[in-house]
Homo-oligomer: A and B are copies of this chain.
Amino acid sequence: MESRVKPSILPGFMELLPEEERIFQDMQQKIRNVYESFGCLPMDTPIIEKSEVLLAKSQGETSKQIYRFTKEDKDMTLRYDLTVPFARYVAMHSENLAFPFRRYQIGKVYRGERNQKGRYREFYQCDVDIVGKETLDISNDAMVLYMVSEAFKAIGLENYYFALSNRKLIKGLLAFWKVETQEEVILGIMDKFYKLKLETFKEMLEEVVEEKIAKELIQLLTMVKDTKEVLRCLESYQGENELFDEGLKEIQEVIEILKVLEVPVKNYQLDLSIIRGLDYYTGTVFETFLQGAENYGSICSGGRYDQLSSCFTKENYPGVGISIGLTRLFSVLKEIGFIQQYPLKPVGEYMILSLGNTNRYALKVYQKLSALGYRVGLNLEESKLKKKMSYANKLQVPRVIIVGEDEMKREEVLVKDMFSGEQKSYRIEELNKIQV
């Protein structure tokens, strides 16, 4: 006898039972359909790439979390996002692409995250990016948000909000306040705004900037629920710093376009605490939170990057992208009970159950129903009708087709509704008359 291994998977990996997997794939399919409906082209890149390529732009933070190994003397890494491979793809294939290049990509990425709620080491990202050659209009920043809002609508998600900012705003403000040398520290503190108590946050800020500046910053951060008010407050700094003015103009335009695109006002807010860790963002940045489930972290993030491909080519490809973290989103939606109520059509319209020595006949029926376009399940195993009915029940099939020896002799089938219990016989030539 061979020795046995305990069947298990590595910690930090998500694996679903069929019922939940059906929902996961349905969500994925709906996101795909929405991205395609906006004329985005599909893309796929290898999960394994040369380390020098994937790490060309990254700093310490990323490299600690990666899956990196050597095979046949080649240093390789599993992709940790879909953005760096996209930058490489654009630089590598630019001659064969039409710009602006609108692409979407749905795939798994890998990070050696600490094992905790909502964090996975393997997770799906559903990215959509628009990349231009030399220039890319600011309307695209609003466009990617719109696409995701439509994707969320398709999966029935309403209680979320995009938290928007523009890096130029905070960078410009810090320069205007003449504390730009403290930028890194200040941004680090701002990033923790929702994690810290207001008092602690204030104390930390005042360790690096004057009380007056800390006060102004806190004021900006605490009025996020009212986008108009934040904008008005920001406008009061206009004309003091060029970078800030640029950022203000951009965020104003993004918000205007969100209105034109009829993205509901409750689904976005202007929040200067949104910094985004990755250093390739240069303008608009966004994260996304589920109303009341903010502590799980952002379920969809992105922003504008004007220099992303610069480590691969001297050509300039400014872009903007957004990424739904589908695995995390799914796990949060499960926590809040959304998945349990997700509407899904049954596995099939029918299931054929054979009784006695009728398998060939049952398969003939199966073939005919399939050819008519029905989704049909099957159970031809040698077992009692009761067991087969319970199988159909488990798979939640609405109607079964019972094929016993009598039916076979008469060239008939018996159709039974699993809910009402009603049943009716049909001749095999009349299968097209079965009601669905």
Contacts and interface: CB of A to CB of B under 8 A. Distances in A.
A69 interface: yes
A347 B39 contact: yes
A397 B46 CA distance: 29
A381 B314 contact: no
B311 A5 contact: yes
B4 A312 contact: yes
Interface stretch (A129-137, A237-245, A406-414): A129-137
Interface residues of A, number: 104
Copy tally for this chain in the complex stands at: 2
Given A92-B7, A260-B367, A18 B37 contact: no
A48, A67, A69 — most chain B CB neighbours (10 Å): A48
A22 B41 contact: yes
Interface string A312-328: 11100000000000000
Given A359-B137, A377-B102, A18 B39 contact: no
A382 interface: yes
Contacts of A36: 375
Given A367-B260, A375-B36, A53 B8 contact: yes
Contact of A93 (B17, B150, B374): B17
A13 B89 CA distance: 13
Nearest to A50: B10
A71 B69 CA distance: 9
A133 to B, nearest CB: 9
A121 B46 CA distance: 10
Contacts of A43: 18, 21
Interface in A345-394: 347-348, 351, 359-360, 363-364, 366-367, 370, 374-382, 391, 394
A184 interface: no
A7, A48, A99, A375 — most chain B CB neighbours (10 Å): A7
A44 interface: yes
A10 B44 CA distance: 15
Interface string A277-289: 0000000000000
A367 B263 CA distance: 10
Contacts of A18: 41-43, 97, 103
Contacts of A135: 381-382
A195 interface: no
A278 B92 CA distance: 38
A5 B52 contact: yes
A49 interface: yes
Nearest to A52: B5
Contacts of A93: 17
B363 A257 contact: yes
Nearest to A53: B5
A65 B177 CA distance: 60
A436 interface: no
A97 to B, nearest CB: 7
A18 B104 CA distance: 10
Nearest to A37: B375
A122 interface: yes
A143 interface: yes
Given A8-B53, A67-B71, 11 more contacts: A3-B311, A4-B311, A9-B46, A10-B48, A15-B46, A18-B97, A21-B41, A21-B42, A37-B375, A137-B359, A139-B363
The 7 closest A-B pairs by CB, nearest first: A39-B377, A69-B69, A7-B92, A18-B41, A13-B46, A7-B312, A98-B394
26 contacts: A3-B311, A4-B311, A5-B52, A8-B50, A13-B46, A13-B48, A15-B89, A18-B41, A18-B42, A18-B103, A21-B43, A25-B42, A37-B370, A37-B374, A37-B376, A38-B375, A47-B108, A98-B391, A98-B394, A100-B379, A102-B378, A139-B380, A146-B367, A257-B359, A260-B363, A260-B367
